[in-house]
């Protein structure tokens, strides 16, 4: 290709990038016009699965709605302190174009009049992480960039908060990413956390591949908007989420006609959330469909005694094949618990 044409393509590409960034940043406002989210957060990748996650806790209402952002196959962002929410979608856009988190943060802060009041953590699908703490963030404030993760915090009780997060994340290698994120958050709280206290928390995990549909690729998306113990509630929700993940696996197995797999999945869900009648119910249904009616009957009986509507629901399942039993077996089920 002639040198002049190469030079022209380079100039056009540079102009296009400049236009994208300048347009995106033109709406940014100084720190005084943005909501507050003095907080601590983590962005990280699971190097085995490629899953990426971000988690946050703050003494501020619904912090997850502003601070954490993620896109499957692209990356995750935490934008906090005097929050500029534009850093979330614009950071993802830049990483999606191939810029590293370091480059994205530098471009976003370069034209931001309130840059010294910002704190940002970013991580991309390649596992590259970077963070920024503006000089005007309220002490104690700082960040740590590790291999495949970054932790950042401001308005903390002390300067040991973010090192504790880093240590907890590194020491939990081998565990699921969502669990590692939560362990890092709990370590921060144990170290003193936000000097004002605690109010809300959130956790987001996205998949390693880009997706066509917006409802795909969000593997965990949990919010605790207002709670006296947001991290404890977030841990409870994570357990419930894991249980319902097994429930979904069971439903898919039913659709595929694999009743043995469905039974195992429903049973795993019930172990995580033993007081949930729905999980017990579908476990019982899977047992009956798998020819284990005598094992299913006591379970149906306990469910019907606690929730009569489950008994009313049961005959309806035979009409679309979700419960494959004979009329005699159905009557045995309906008599359970009497």
Q: Are residues 169 and 284 in the same domain?
A: no
* 3-class DSSP state of 44: strand
What pLDDT digit, counting tens, does each position of 285-313 carry?
988 998 999 999 999 999 999 999 999 99
Q: Are residues 168 and 288 in the same domain?
A: no
What pLDDT digit, counting tens, does each position of 223-245 carry?
999 999 999 999 999 999 999 99
Q: Are residues 251 and 217 in the same domain?
A: no
Cβ atoms of 69 and 77 within 8 Å: the answer is yes
* 3-class DSSP state of 16: helix
- Is there a domain that residue 251 lies in? yes
DSSP type of residue 75: E
Q: Is residue 28 pLDDT above 50, yes or no?
A: no
Confidence band of 215 (pLDDT split at 50, 70, 90): confident
Assign residue 58 the CATH number of its domain.
3.60.20.10
Domain count along the chain = 2
251 burial via Cβ count (<10 Å: 0-12, 13-18, 19+): middle
Q: Are residues 124 and 262 in the same domain?
A: no
- Is there a domain that residue 234 lies in? no
- Is there a domain that residue 267 lies in? yes
Q: Is residue 43 pLDDT above 90, yes or no?
A: yes
- Is there a domain that residue 7 lies in? no
What's the rounded mean pLDDT across residues 30-53?
81
Residue 207 falls in which region: left (phi positive, over 0), alpha (psi -120 to 50) or beta: beta
Q: Is residue 93 pLDDT above 80, yes or no?
A: yes
Q: Are residues 161 and 297 in the same domain?
A: no
Q: Which regions of the chain does DSSP assign to beta strands (E)?
A: 36-37, 39-45, 52-58, 68-71, 75-82, 118-124, 129-133, 142-146, 149-153, 200-206, 218-224
Confidence band of 21 (pLDDT split at 50, 70, 90): very low
Residue range(s) defining the domain that contains residue 192:
31-228
Cβ atoms of 53 and 172 within 8 Å: the answer is no
Q: pTM above 0.85? A: no
The total number of residues shown for the chain amounts to 338
Q: Are residues 44 and 127 in the same domain?
A: yes
Q: Is residue 141 pLDDT above 70, yes or no?
A: yes
What pLDDT digit, counting tens, does each position of 246-285 carry?
988 988 887 788 878 888 888 888 888 888 898 899 889 9
Question: What's residue 31's pLDDT?
Answer: 42
Determine the Cα–Cα distance for residues 28 and 252; give it in Å rounded to an integer: 45
Question: What's residue 222's pLDDT?
Answer: 98
């Amino acid at each position: 290709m002639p040198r002049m044409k190469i030079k022209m393509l380079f100039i056009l590409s540079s102009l296009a990038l400049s236009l994208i960034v300048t347009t995106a940043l033109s709406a940014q406002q100084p720190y005084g016009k943005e909501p507050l989210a003095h907080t601590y957060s983590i962005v990280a990748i699971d190097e085995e699965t490629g899953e990426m996650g971000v988690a946050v806790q703050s003494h501020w209402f619904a912090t997850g709605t502003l601070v954490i952002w993620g896109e499957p196959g692209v990356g995750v962002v935490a934008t906090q302190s005097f929050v500029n929410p534009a850093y979330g979608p614009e950071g993802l856009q830049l990483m999606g174009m191939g810029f590293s988190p370091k480059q994205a943060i530098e471009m976003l802060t370069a034209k931001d009049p309130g840059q010294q009041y910002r704190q940002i953590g970013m991580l991309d699908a390649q596992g590259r992480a970077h963070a920024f703490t503006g000089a005007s963030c309220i002490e104690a404030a700082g960040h740590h960039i590790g291999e495949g993760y970054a932790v950042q915090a401001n308005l903390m009780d002390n300067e040991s908060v973010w090192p504790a997060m880093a240590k907890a994340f590194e020491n939990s290698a081998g565990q699921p990413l969502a669990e590692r994120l939560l362990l890092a958050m709990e370590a921060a709280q144990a170290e003193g956390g936000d000097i004002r206290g605690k109010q809300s928390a959130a956790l987001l995990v996205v998949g390693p591949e880009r997706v066509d549909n917006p409802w795909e690729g969000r593997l965990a998306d949990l919010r605790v908007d207002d709670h006296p113990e947001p991290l404890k509630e977030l841990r409870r929700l994570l357990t419930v989420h894991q249980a319902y993940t097994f429930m979904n696996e069971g439903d898919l197995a039913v659709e595929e006609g694999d009743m043995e797999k469905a039974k195992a999945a429903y049973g795993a869900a019930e172990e995580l959330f033993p007081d949930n009648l729905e999980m017990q119910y579908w476990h019982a249904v899977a047992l009956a469909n798998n020819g284990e009616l005598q094992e299913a009957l006591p379970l149906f009986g306990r469910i019907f005694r606690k929730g009569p509507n489950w008994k009313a629901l049961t005959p309806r399942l035979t009409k679309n094949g979700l419960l494959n039993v004979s009329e005699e077996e159905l009557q045995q089920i309906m008599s359970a618990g009497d």
